[in-house]
Amino acid sequence: MTLEEFAAGEQKTEGMDKVGDALEEVLSKALSQRSITVGVYEAAKLLNVDPDNVVLCLLAADEDDDRDVALQIHFTLIQAFCCENDINILRVSNPGRLAELLLLGTGGSAAASGGGAEQPPDLHCVLVTNPHSSQWKDPALSQLICFCRESRYMDQWVPVINLPER
């Protein structure tokens, strides 16, 4: 490995950390504005009814989910629909951290409500919608959109990011 390759690798890691931070900020704002849809089935319904209002699609899967053929078929269909409708897509490699961010993890309000036998929410697909035009001016969302666009220029249609642990 040359010094240039090492420096480029470090810059890429720093860039990925910034994208992860931007995603955390976008999710936090989307939660507070109630402009988030969670679940493969719920996402498919929203994409069918109002695709123009969706600004970001997150697909979350860990190593075990990669062997789930049905889930991979759903992902392929959602990815194709998002590409056809110019919706930015990101793949999140650590769904546990995503659950924490969406307040569904340990101690989260959505997971704590109801009985202990309740089925955990499906976090494999998360859509962020645009409730107000002011969100388009959000710098974190702009950073994510730029990252997705740059990834597409490099023929990486669904970039994978790792949310930073806290």
CATH number at residue 89: 3.30.1330.30
| pLDDT > 70: percent of the chain | 77
What confidence score (pLDDT) does residue 59 get? 94
For the chain, the domain total comes to 1
The pair of three-digit structure tokens given for residue 102, joined into one six-digit string:
């969406």
Q: What is the pTM of this model?
A: 0.79
Give yes or no for a contact between 143 and 18, defined as CB atoms under 8 angstroms apart.
yes
**Is residue 113 situated within a structural domain?**
no
Strand partners, 56: 88, 128
pLDDT tens-digit readout, 142-165: 999 999 999 988 988 889 888 877
pLDDT tens-digit readout, 83-110: 999 999 999 988 889 999 987 644 444 4
**Is residue 9 situated within a structural domain?**
no
